[in-house]
Each structure stands twice: as structure tokens, then as C-alpha cells.
Structure 1
Amino acid sequence: DGCAIIGFNSNNEQISSTVGTSPSMVTFKADRPFLGVPLSIKAELKCCYTTTEQQINPTWFKSVRTGQSSPVAVNISENVTTRLDKADKELCYVLTFDSVQLNDTGMYQCVLNYSNHFSPGTYLQVYKRLKKTINLRESTKNKILTAEGVLLLLCVVLPSTTLLFKVRQSHLDGLNLDDCCTTYDQIERSQAHGPYQDVCNIIEEEEEFQLEKP
């Protein structure tokens, strides 16, 4: 008889070897480490191995908490069944749940009839799917989409209308051409008279005025 030894190398890769005192040898293959399944859905777990033994009776065991409780044998029932699949030299012992329940969550391993060595195992996680928090009719959804479209249109139209109004108001409050012409004419007339007075004429006027004094 012989048994398989499972370990990990420096690259965290699973390796297996066999030991024994007889020509019969068995080697466990790597298992799927984790399987998440929704509540009430079918699930399958596999324990694959190669062996030179003609007849082997594998058994499935379940641990609720790894390392904290002893594994217990899985009860076979109408909902939980087993079968043996053969492919070339590899054998797979399959554990099938027709409809998983929350209490089916746990670590599942198989052990061969002549060995106390457990397979690496697969952790089965059963979970509930999230339900819809709000159940809306199609008509209500269409109304919501219509309202969103109107709000989006207003968000685009209102800023554009406000901008156009400001531009028009700025044109109305801008320069008037008539006022500009009047101002221009006043500037031209003031330049025609000259910005400076004739100093000589002012002095002559003062002298004449002084001569006329008694």
C-alpha cells in the first residue's frame, strides 16, 4: 500500500509524491481551491488522482472551519450524490449537490480507503444573490427617462438663452452713433478756435484801457 504526500515548492506551486512499501501507488492531483455558488444552484466538487490499485473506495469529508474542527464524512442523499469518472489513467471522484444550501459551505476533501491522507480539497462557499431593492414597472421607468431627458434639455437651453440675452443687452447699452457724431463735431469746433489765447492782443487791450483813464 502507499499514500500521496502533497506539498508546495518555493514558487508556491503544488507538488505531489507517493510513498509506500508495495507496488500500489496513488498520486493526488491539484484540486480547485475555491468554488462560490449561489443558493439553490447545482455544484460539483472533484477529487482527481492516479493509482495502480485496481479498486479504491474514496470518501468525501467536510470541515466547517479548517484547522478548528475534525472533518466529518459527507452524508450521501438524494440531493448529494457521488460518482467516479475515468479519463485515461486519471480518476476523478465527483461530489454533486443538486441544490446547494447555506449549511453546505465548508472545506471538502476526499480520502482513499487504504490511506489516511486527505486530498488538498476545495472550499465551497454558498451565498445569496442580492435582490432588487426597488421594483419598478416599465411605464414608470419610461416616465423617469422622459423626465431626465427634459431636465437635460433645460440644462442645455437655459444657459444658452441667458448668454444670448446678455449679448443683446450689451449691444443695446453700447455706443450710439448719433452721440458719437455730436461729440466729434464739438471737438472739431473747439480745435478751430484754438486752445490758446493771443497774449499780444491781451497786452494791447490792457494798454489802451489804461490810456483812457483820466
Structure 2
Amino acid sequence: MEFRLVIFLCFWAAAEEGLKLEADVPFQRVPVTHEAAIRCCYRWEMEHKVDWFKHVHAIKETESKIINDSDTVKMMKNETKGVKCNFLLLKSTQLNDTGLYQCKLHHSTLQTFTHGTFLQVYIPLQKSLNLSESVKNSIITAEGVLLLLFVLIPGIMLLCKSKTLNELSKKKGREEENIYEGLNLDECNSAYHQIQRSSQQGPYQDVASCGEDIQLEKP
């Protein structure tokens, strides 16, 4: 019994040593109803069998399912310079195709999985307005013109208002200058002095300062 166990372990180690897994694409994302191509590559000279598995992680456990050929799923093989590749082609992906895809390699009692590729199927965003490129360019040009007008119009209005205020200020200054035109400063001074003298003398004349021929003013 022990001898058989040793033989089995040696055979299993030899078979595993001959297997060399190549790097897989870890993540792939495709829109719904599009085609997805997944591959697994390795080096292994021994005769073996390959099965594709899909793993879907649920809330508490992971559900695994073997994938078979169908109208929408195709499996192909290829070998180049000792590297064997298995391809899984999904012609029209659906949302429930999201999951981890792995190749399971069988040889006698040896079974191993490749690294695998996680496939995500998504629904692309739909355009609310289907506009052509020429219409988009026209809209961008119109937005630029409107933006330019919104910047220029307030500036022009401020300049016009400032110019109007300057003209009114100049006009007011000219009107004030015109008020004093034609006035004789000497006559103004003499009239001013006469007014001052009359206010200082009062309404009655001094009798002592009057001559004999001057008639006094009656109260």
C-alpha cells in the first residue's frame, strides 16, 4: 500500500512538473450583445483533456458550471511553438454571462485550473440626443458667439455710460463759466461797497454831520 502511494505521488509530481501555465487576461469587459473571446494558454506535453468552467460568486457560495458547445458558444484550440491555447468564443453576450471563466486540465487523476479571466458584460449608456458631428460643431460655434456677446455688451454699456457722464460734467462746467461772463468786477465791487456803507449808516442821518443846506430826513 505504501509502495503504491509513493508511485502515485511520484507520477503526480512528474505530471505537474511538466505543466506550465501561461499568463491569462485577468479582466475583460464587453457591452451586451457583443462578441467576447476568452483564452487559456499553457505548456504541457502529456495527453490531457480541457473543459471550460464558469464560476459565479453568489452571496454565500460560488456556483460553478461546465460550458458546452452551442449555437452561441464555440470552442477552439491552437498550438504555437509548444504553447497550447484553448479559446472560448461567446458570439452574443448577455448580462448573465458575467463571471470567472477557467480552463480545467485533466490528466488521469491530476486536475488543475488555469488562472482564468473574469468577464463583465454591461449595458452601454444610450445617447439622449443623437446629433451628427456637423450639428455639434454648429452648437459649439453658437455657444462661443453668445459667450462673446455676453462679455462685450456689458462692457460697451459701461463705456457709453461713462462717456455720457463725462459729457454732462463738461457741459455743467461750461454753463457755470457762462454765468460769470460779461460781468464787470469793478462795478460789482462799487455796488458792494455802496450796499455796505448804507447798511452801516442806518436809515437816519446824523444831524451833527450835516451842513446847513441839507434837509434832514424825516422819520
- How would you bin the TM-score normalised by the shorter chain? 0.5 to 0.7
Quick one: distance in 2 between partners of 1:125 and 1:82?
Answer: 19
Q: CA deviation at 1:174?
A: 0.8
Scaled by the length of structure 1, the TM-score of the pair is 0.67
Deviations 1:11-34 (A, max 9, x none): xxxxxxxx7145971111221111
**2:150 — aligned with what?**
155
- Structure with the higher helix share, 1 or 2: 2
Scaled by the length of structure 2, the TM-score of the pair is 0.65
Letter in 1 for 2:76: R
SS at match of 2:101: strand
SS at match of 1:171: helix
Quick one: distance in 2 between partners of 1:151 and 1:111?
Answer: 64
Quick one: distance in 1 between partners of 2:90 and 2:124?
Answer: 18
Matched, 1:38 2:68: no
SS at match of 1:100: coil
CA contact (8 A) 2:26 2:118 kept: yes
**1:165 — aligned with what?**
160
Quick one: distance in 2 between partners of 1:123 and 1:102?
Answer: 13
Computing the radius of gyration from Cα coordinates, the structure with the larger value is 2
Deviates more, 1:128-137 or 1:27-36: 128-137
Matched, 1:63 2:58: no
Unaligned runs of 5+ residues in structure 1 are 3-18, 198-204
SS at match of 1:134: coil
Q: In the superposition, relative to structure 1, how do residues 29 and 184 fare at CA in structure 2: closer, same or farther (>3 Å)? A: farther
Letter in 2 for 1:65: H
Letter in 2 for 1:122: T
Aligned-pair identity (%): 34
RMSD over aligned CA atoms reads 4.2
Deviates more, 1:101-110 or 1:61-70: 61-70
Quick one: distance in 2 between partners of 1:138 and 1:29?
Answer: 45
Q: In the superposition, relative to structure 1, how do residues 174 and 211 fare at CA in structure 2: closer, same or farther (>3 Å)? A: same
Q: CA deviation at 1:62?
A: 0.6
CA contact (8 A) 2:106 2:112 kept: no
SS at match of 2:156: helix
SS at match of 2:125: coil
